Amino acid sequence: MIASQRKASSEESKEHRLALGAWLRELREEQGLSQRDLSEILGLEYYTFISQLENGRGKIPSNRYRDWAQALGQDSKTFVRKLLMHYDPVSYEILFSDDLAETC
């Protein structure tokens, strides 16, 4: 991969993380939860982890996807699909490109 492709990929990844963070913040706020409230529900030691995610840094550990979906009032499959779209867009496209064509 040439340097310009790596830079574009890095920028795209950053944009995906920022978009996901905004979505997570929106879900949290729709539930009427503060960052501290959500961290308590999830049993997190530091509420700052929520802030980091909402600001496009870090990832939700896959073993906690169901916990997060439940805490944010989301269907687990739909929630994980959205995470995958942002965390790994290439895999998302491979797995769901047929679904995307059907909805267009």
Share of the chain above pLDDT 70, in %: 87
Domain residue spans of the chain: 18-103
- What is the per-residue pLDDT across 18-62, written as a single tens digit (0 to 9) for each? 999 999 999 999 999 999 999 999 999 999 999 999 999 999 999
pLDDT at 101: 53
Distance CA 65, CA 75 (A): 11
Distance CA 17, CA 58 (A): 8
pLDDT at 81: 96
What is the widest separation between alpha-carbon atoms in the chain? Answer: 45
Q: pTM score, two decimals?
A: 0.83
Look at residue 63 and tell me whether its pLDDT is greater than 60: yes
DSSP H helix total and E strand total for the chain: 6, 0
Could you name the CATH architecture of 18-103? Orthogonal Bundle (1.10)
